[in-house]
Amino acid sequence: MSASRLRRSPVVRPLLVSLAVVVSSPAIAKDCVVSAGPHDRVSRGKTVVVEAGESIENALAIDGDVILRQGARVKSAVAVNGNLVLESGAKVTGTAASFGGKIEVAEGAKISGSRLQLSDGIHIRSENGKDVGLALSVGGQDLSDLLVSKLVEKARSCRIVVGNGEIQL
């Protein structure tokens, strides 16, 4: 795929804009608040587990894994500096993302929305199932490693509060 065509992709364009914001100095300096609502599960330094049969809105782990057990259902699942693991029968209806880890999807598990993995390159799967893999470097450094380090630094500074389920970066 050509570079100009790649920039016009409906999946890649928002990603590139987001990545530019994440690595910019003013964005890093701004306060970060994770507001966990009643149907969210958020943790720092621990694994977030959504048990079999549970249905929640958002699962977020900072410096930990997100594990969806068989039959668990979430709208979005994000692991920052951790893995996202879907056991057989688990389902993510929206976005699944891992920054600094892997996304592991067992046979019979499903991600209906988009998938984004930043580690060992940038791996994206759009909602229509098309895969895009990027291996970019800046000055000899893997761009995904640079982005992950900035994102993890930012996420570690976030305050987690009880609220309406919004993340303000």
Task: Give percent helix, percent strand, percent coil of the chain, each to the nearest 5.
Answer: 20, 40, 40
CA atoms within a 13 Å half-sphere pointing along the CA-CB vector of 140: 0
- 């570690």: which residue's tokens? 156
Q: How far apart are CA 77 and CA 156, in angstroms?
A: 17
Of 27, 19, 11, which is closest to residue 95 (Cα–Cα)? 11
CA atoms within a 13 Å half-sphere pointing along the CA-CB vector of 49: 6
Kindly give the confidence (pLDDT) of every residue in the chain, 169 residues in length, as a single tens digit, with 9 standing for 90 and above.
444 443 444 444 444 444 444 444 444 446 777 778 888 999 999 999 999 999 999 999 999 999 999 999 999 999 999 999 999 999 999 999 998 899 999 999 999 988 888 877 666 666 666 666 666 666 777 766 777 788 778 777 777 777 765 554 4
